[in-house]
Amino acid sequence: MLLVSYISENKAEVIEGLKKRFFDEPETTVNKVLELDEERRQTQKDRDDAQAEANKSAKQIGMLMKSGQKDEAEAAKASAATNKQKAKDLSSRVSELEGELQKLLYQIPNIPRKHVPVGKTDEDNEVMYERGEKPTLPENAKPHWDLIEQYDIVDFELGNKVTGAGFPFYKGKGARIQRALISFFLDEATDAGYMEVQPPILINEASGYGTGQLPDKEGQMYYMGADDLYLIPTAEVPITNMFRGELLQENDLPKKMAGHTPCFRREAGSWGAHVRGLNRLHQFDKVEIVEIQKPEDSEEAHERMTRHVEMLLEKLELPYRRLLLCSGDLGVNANLCYDLEVWSAAQGRWLEVSSISNFGNYQANRLKLRYRDNNKKTSLLHTLNGSALALPRVLAAILENNQTEKGIMIPKVLQKYTNFEVID
C-alpha cells in the first residue's frame, strides 16, 4: 500500500495516477486519507499529553501527602484518574482511526509509472515487440484440446468426475512433459542465481494481506474455513511472505527465490474457445521467481527478470511477444508490468503465459519489509515477481505448434527431461 507520507508529499501526482487507473473519486479518497491521518496524529498527541499529565499528578501525590497537604493530594489523585481515563479513551480512538486509515489505504492501488500507457482493458496494452517465427501448420491442424484427446495425455472428464471442471488429470506422456517443464524451469532459475524453495500451498490471512491478495482478491481464492487458511493463487504469496516483518541488512541483498507450486484460482471466467482446454483452469502448475531488491536496483532487476522468462520461451522455440500493460489492466499492487504471450498456431491467437511485475515499495509497506543500509539508515525494500513459467498455456502452444504427421515433436531442450522425442 502507499505510504501516507508519500501521499501527503505527492498529493497531485497520486491523484493523477489514480485517475490514470480510472479509480473512483480519487480526490475524495486522497483527502480522506490525509484527514484521517491528521486526526490520528492530533488524537495521538492529545493522548500522550493526557498520559503525561496523569503521570505528573501521580508523582505529586506522595510528596503532597508527606507535606500534609491532604486536600491538594486528593485533587492530584482525582486529576491523575481523570487524565488516565482520558488517555485510555483517546488511545481507543487512535486505534479506531488507525483501522479506518488502514482499511482505506488497502483500497488504493499502486501508482503507475509515468510511461505506463493509459487504457482501460487489455486491448489497450502496448505491444513492445514480437520475436520468433510463427510455424506454418498443415490444413488439418488441430487445437490442443483435440490433440490431448487424440493422444490421451490430459483427461478433463476424469478430472470433472473426481473434483470438478477445471481440474484435469495429466496422464502418461502428458504427465511426463509437465514434470519436464517444471524441472527445466527450475534448473534455469537455479542457473540464473535463484535459490529454489518449496513453499506451503496454504497461507494464513496475514500472508494474504501482506502481498495484497486480501482484501482485493478474496473471492478468487479457495478458502479453508475450518482452519482459516487459503489455497495460494501463486507461489509469489508464500515466497514473498518469507520476509514479512523482517529487517534485512544491505549486504544480504538482493534476495532471489524460485519455487514450483500448484496454483488455485476460483474464477476461471466465462466459457468459450478463449478459455477452452488448457487455456484457463482452476488448478495449474507454475514456477515463480521472486526478488527482494534495494529501490535503486529494482528497475534493472525487472528488465533482467523479464529477459530470463523470454529466454525460456526462446529455448522452447515458441514465438512470443512482450506487452507493456496499460493503466487499467495493471494489477493493484504493481506500478509496472510486462506480459509475455506465446503464439498458439492452431488457435491463431496469443496466449498469456507470464506477468513480470515491479511493485516498488507498495507490497513491502504492507509486509513491513525493510532493510538497514551500511550507514544504518532504514528504508522499505522493493519486491518483484514473475511467472517463469505457468505450464498450461505453454503446453498448449507446444502441442499445437509442434504437431506433425508423425506426432507432436518435443522441443530439444526438454528431451533430456522427457526421455522421448515425440508424442505419438
DSSP per-residue string spanning 121-168: SGGGPEEEEEESPPPPPPTT---HHHHHHHTT-EEHHHHHHHT-TT-P
Assess contact for 144 and 402: CB atoms under 8 A.
Answer: no
Name the region of 381 (left: φ>0; alpha: ψ -120 to 50; beta: rest): beta
Task: Give, as one character, the DSSP assignment of residue 373.
Answer: -
Quick one: CA dihedral 70, 76, 78, 84, positive or negative? Answer: negative
Q: Tell me whether strands 195-196 and 255-264 are parallel, antiparallel or unpaired.
A: parallel
With cut-offs at 50, 70 and 90, classify the pLDDT of residue 353.
Answer: very high
With cut-offs at 50, 70 and 90, classify the pLDDT of residue 272.
Answer: low
Question: Where do runs of H (alpha helix) occur along 244-358?
Answer: 298-315
Q: Quote the cell numbers at residue 367.
A: 509486509
pLDDT at 299 over 60: yes
> End-to-end alpha-carbon separation of the chain, Å?
51
pLDDT at 274 over 80: no
* Cα separation, 321 vs 341, whole angstroms: 5
Question: Residues at the annotated binding site?
Answer: 234, 265-267, 288, 352-355, 385
* Cα separation, 158 vs 149, whole angstroms: 12
Indicate the pTM of the whole model: 0.93
Weakest mean pLDDT among 209-218, 292-301, 399-408, 413-422: 209-218
pLDDT of residue 72: 84
pLDDT at 400 over 90: yes
Taking domain 122-423, whether its CATH number is 1.10.10.60 is answered by no
Weakest mean pLDDT among 13-17, 62-66, 384-388: 62-66
pLDDT of residue 360: 98
Weakest mean pLDDT among 72-81, 168-177, 336-345, 390-399: 72-81
With cut-offs at 50, 70 and 90, classify the pLDDT of residue 271.
Answer: low
pLDDT of residue 273: 56
pLDDT at 270 over 80: no
What interhelical angle do 26-66 and 70-107 show, nearest 10?
160
How many other C-beta atoms lie within 10 A of the C-beta of residue 253?
A: 16
pLDDT at 269 over 60: no
The domains of the chain are located at 4-107, 122-423
Q: Which CATH class is domain 4-107?
A: mainly alpha
With cut-offs at 50, 70 and 90, classify the pLDDT of residue 182.
Answer: very high
Q: Quote the cell numbers at residue 222.
A: 479457495
Weakest mean pLDDT among 148-157, 217-226, 364-373: 217-226
95-109: b (≥16 Cβ within 10 Å) or e: eebeeebeebbbebb
With cut-offs at 50, 70 and 90, classify the pLDDT of residue 202.
Answer: very high
Task: Give, as one character, the DSSP assignment of residue 337.
Answer: E
* Greatest distance between any 2 Cα atoms in the chain: 108
pLDDT at 71 over 90: no
With cut-offs at 50, 70 and 90, classify the pLDDT of residue 171.
Answer: very high
Question: Residues at the annotated binding site for ATP?
Answer: 265-267, 352-355
- Please state, for a pLDDT cut of 90, what percent of the chain lies above it: 90
pLDDT at 58 over 90: no
With cut-offs at 50, 70 and 90, classify the pLDDT of residue 104.
Answer: very high
For cell 498456431, what's the residue?
345
Question: Residues at the annotated binding site for L-serine?
Answer: 234, 265, 288, 385
pLDDT of residue 76: 86
Average pLDDT, the chain: 95
Weakest mean pLDDT among 5-19, 249-263, 271-285: 271-285
* Cα separation, 92 vs 98, whole angstroms: 10
The DSSP element (H or E) to which 198 belongs, if any, is none
Mean pLDDT of 359-374: 97
Mean pLDDT of 310-334: 98
